[in-house]
Structures are given as C-alpha cells and as structure tokens.
Structure 1
Amino acid sequence: MNRRISLSEMSKLLNISKHTLRYYDKIGLITPSYDSNGYRYYSIDHYYVLSTIKLLREMDVSIKDIKKSLNDDNLEDFVQLLVDSKEHIDSEIIRMTKLSNLIGNKIKVAFHEKSRENQWYVQKEQERKYIHFGKYPPQSASEEDKFEDLFELGYDVLAESNIMIKHSIEQLEKITDDFTNFYIEYDEKVDMIGDLSILSEGDYIIYYYKGNEQNIYDSLINTLNDIKSKGYIIGDVVYEMLRPSQFITSSNKYFFTEFNIPIVKKDLTLE
C-alpha cells in the first residue's frame, strides 16, 4: 500500500511552502487526496509530479504552460518546453555574467578612482585593437549610418564596448570638444565599420583624471610635463580610454576618465 505523505511532509521533502502547495491545489495544478477529516495527503506519484513542477518553476516556466504540459501526453511537447526553457536560462546566464563582470570592473575602477585619482604610473599593456568609427556625436549622414549599423547588429556602443579616442598632443587644447579620432574595441561584429588601429604591446603611462571636465587640458599638460621631467620620452598621441566600467563616480559634479600615453623610451640620465 502506498504511504500517505502529509502536506507538512511534502513541504519539507521538496522545500516547497505549504502555502504554495495549497495554491497548486486551488488552481487545479495538482490535486491531492483528502482524508475523512478534510486533511490533504499525497502519494509518491504526487511527489514525482511536484518535483517536475518545481523544476519547471525554477526554469521560470509559467504556471499556465506547466498546467498545459501536465495535461499533454505528447512527450515531444514536453521536451520542447524543456529546450525552450534551457535556451532562456542560457541567455540569462550570459546576461548575468556580463552584469557580474561589469559590476566587478566598477568595483575595481572605484578603488582606482580612490587610490590613483589624478596620479600617473607606468603599466605594461598587451596589444589592443580598435576600429575607427568617426566623430561622436556624428557629424555627417554617413557617420550617423555607422551608428545605425551597429544598433541594427544589437551592439550597444556605449553600454557594451570599450571606447578609445585619439588626441594629438599638439592639439590637446581641443580635448573637451574634438572627438576626431573615435574608435571602438575590435569585434567581429563591427569588422566592416572602419580601419583597424593597433595599440602596440609595451609600456604606457596610465593617468586617471577626476575633476571638472573643463580642467582636463591643464591637468593633462601638467601631467605630461611631470612625466617628461622624470625622463620619459613619450609618443605624440594620448589615448583616452572610456570603458563601460568607468562610468562611475561618487558625484555628478566630476568627470572621470583614463589616459594611456605610450612610452617611447626612458632617458636614464634623468634618474
């Protein structure tokens, strides 16, 4: 004879609340038996069905679809329900992984913001590739089309990709309003957009700036002079790196960005 499983026992066995079990009974999702005193009890068959229901709910399958599935003897339909649910979960894993990485990077940047604020240091970088994108905001219909091409590909420029802006040291006075050389991180999706620009592997000056946007030029010039006074010979381009993880600040009064300055060589006589 099948052993009776009480409502409390089933709740503990499957870690499903009593309230949920009563709700499933009320909507006809699964119907337990009743004893002479009106108390619900379940069988081992109920246990297996409730296990399936719990799995499907954890897979974010709606009650409506679960109910339909339980009343459908077609195994192929049930398998398809599982396939669709797995695809949804896999998509969510990708989305949540991206979100987790973004949050992790923001935490890392927050520490940099605190410890490296308006300071520079030397760091070895691997080779990096960027695709030329034009000006931002777009200055012509053709440049506007480039943005539209990316959006159609589902590639959110500001939210998904690392952005790099080339600034000529000779024209740094235009740094706050001239995005002439605007690039986005190399990706197969945008390979057709523009010319490839390669930042070679090597030592770079990394300078984190935090402050009023209008003061970037003066701060950067002072930093470059300080770098040169330490014997570093630098290239003629400053790379401004705008990563999604850097869109963080403790106040909307401040602008926060990172500059990469390639080191050509070090003048050892100034050490």
Structure 2
Amino acid sequence: MKDYYKIGEISKIYGIGRDSLMYYEEIGILKPFRDTNGYRMYNISDIWKLNLIKEFRSLNFPMKKIKEYLDDRSIESTKTILNEELDLIDKKIFELISHKENIITRLSSIESVIQNTKIDEIEVVYIEKRKALELNADIERDEDFDFLIQKLQKEYEDRFNILGNNNIGSAFSVEAINNGIFNEFKSVFCFLEDNEEIYNIVFDEGYYVTLNYTGSNSNNKIYMQKVFRFIEENNYKINAAPIEIYKIDIHETGIVDEFVTEIQVPITK
C-alpha cells in the first residue's frame, strides 16, 4: 500500500471533488506537499480525516465545526459530536415522516378528485370561510399563472405544494367577463388548512354555484355561460368574483382530457 496519493487518486477513492479537496487544504484540514513535478501528494496517515468529513457533511455539519473537532479530539468531544449526530438524524427522520405524510395526502387528493368529482353537473353548495394565500396580478396566459403561483409559493416560504394540490386556483376578472372574455384573471391563490396562521385573504362563507368540467381550460367559456344561465334562471345574485380551482392540471398530467377544473361562483339566493 502506498504512503502517498495524488489528488486525482484521492478524489476517485473518496468520491470527493478536486475543488473540495483544495478547499480542505485552504482551511488547513489537509496539508499535502508537492512532489518534484509540482503535484499535490496526500499522506495516507492524514486521509482518515476524509472519512469523518464525509460522515459529518452528510448530516450538514458546517466545515468550521468539523475542523474544530478534527483539530481537538477527545473522548468527550467525540461523545458530544456523536450526540449531535443523533439529534440531526432524529430531525431528518421527523422531516422524512412529515414528507411521506404530505405525499400520501397529495396522492389521496388526486384519487379523491378522480373518484368523487361530478362532471358537468351544476350544484348549489354552502362553503365555510376559507383561508388562502393570494397574489394579485393580471393573468392572460397559462404561463402567467404558472409563474405567479411559483412566485406565491416562494414568497410564503414554500408553505404549500403544487403537485397533487387541488386547492390552487384563479379569480376571474369581472370586468373581462362583462366584456365576454373568460380567460383573464385578477389573481392566483391557494386555499389553506383551517388551522393555518399565515394567510393574506379569507374567502367568505356562503352559497356557491359550482360546476366541474374536464379538458382544456380554454373551454371554460362554455361552462361559465352554463353556470350564469343557471344563476339567472334561479334569480340568484352574484356577489363576488367567480373563481376556478385546478383540481388536476398540467402539473399532474400531460393529457389535457384528464384535466379537472371546478368553477365556483359566490351567490346570494
């Protein structure tokens, strides 16, 4: 077995990039010497440090803390850092369990839409008040919606997911509807759980005329007009901007016929 290894050999053996190895040298963790050809040569007696670095970095220990430990090791400091590893692992386990539960919820959400949604049926339903995050902006294209919902998600520190979320939607522009235009919107939003403490709008409780349709959202004019005729025939009064909720859209499927969208129009009987 050799006493010294070149940087390329060390990089390959440990799966650590050259830049990282040179950074460890820069901060004084590794101290290779140069051979007669100017190549960095690593003493095999110092390579044990890379085993610990890889373990600690996998748990996101900062390099400063790793260096402090490598420079001053004792039984007590080893016990301390191993206990910190345990705490970090417990935290990761908690995060993974939460992430798993979140994915299960989203899968259930998709399945619920598929199994329980009544298509092309008008209903009048009473909906309790709903907390939401909303971003106001003029929207005329699908690309605008995608950009804005991503912006909303980032603005609120990723407080909601997009894939498998059937609570994301848009509020129609009433002015555009009055001009016979049904593909212009004034905001994007995401409904939240009742116990959420961070939100910027509450959708009023009350009666809504609802209709679910499948296929392209460019066909929403047909279904909106059907809803408006129903409202007029029953002498209801629209009391706020209609909304669309994208229960299944391009994020869940590339097959347009599988899209499921719900129109909700708030009314006074």
- Residue type matched to 1:222 in 2? K
The Cα offsets for residues 80-124 of structure 1, whole Å up to 9 and x where unpaired, read as: 2321111110000111111111111111111134xx111121222
Q: Does 1:181 align with 2:183?
A: no
- What is the distance in 1 between the residues matched to 2:237 and 2:201? 22
> 1:252 corresponds to which residue?
256
- 1:210 aligns with 214
Quick check: 1:88 aligned with 2:92?
yes
Quote the offset at 1:231 in angstroms.
4.6
The answer to which of 93-102 and 218-227 deviates more is 218-227
State the Cα deviation string for residues 219-248 of structure 1 (Å, max 9, x = none).
Answer: 220232134324543335211123579955
* Alignment correspondent of 1:103: 107
Q: Which residue of 2 is the match for residue 125 of structure 1?
A: 127
Following superposition, the deviation at residue 214 of structure 1 comes to 2.8
Write the distance in 2 (CA, Å) between the matches of 1:138 and 1:152.
18
CA contact (8 A) 2:170 2:187 kept: yes
Q: Look up the equivalent residue of 2:211 and give its one-letter code.
A: Y
Partner secondary structure for residue 174 of structure 1: coil
The CA deviation at 1:201 is 1.3
Among all aligned residue pairs of Structure 1 and Structure 2, give the percentage whose two residues are the same amino acid.
Answer: 16
Structure 2's unaligned 5+ residue stretches are: 1-54, 60-73
Q: Residues 50-65 of structure 1: matches in 2 within 5 Å?
A: none
Cα distance change of structure 1 residues 82 and 242 upon mapping to structure 2, 3 Å threshold = same
Q: 1:255 Cα deviation (Å)?
A: 3.5
The equivalent residue for 1:198 is 202
Deviations 1:38-59 (A, max 9, x none): xxxxxxxxxxxxxxxxxxxxxx
Query: Which residue identity lines up with residue 220 of structure 1 in the other structure?
Result: M
**Number of paired residues?**
186
| Structure 2 residue 157 is the aligned partner of structure 1 residue 153 | yes
**168, 171, 181: which is aligned to 1:166?**
171
User: TM-score scaled to structure 1, two decimals?
Assistant: 0.54
Q: Contact 1:134 / 1:181 at 8 angstroms: preserved in 2?
A: yes
Over 3 Å counting, the alpha-carbon distance change for 1:107 and 1:242 in structure 2 is same
| TM-fit CA distance, 1:254 | 4.8
Query: Is 1:134 aligned to 2:137, yes or no?
Result: yes
Q: Give how far 1:164 is off.
A: 3.4
- Flag structure 1 segments of 5+ consecutive residues without an equivalent: 1-60, 66-71, 266-271
Compared CA separation, residues 244 and 81, structure 1 to 2 (3 A):
farther
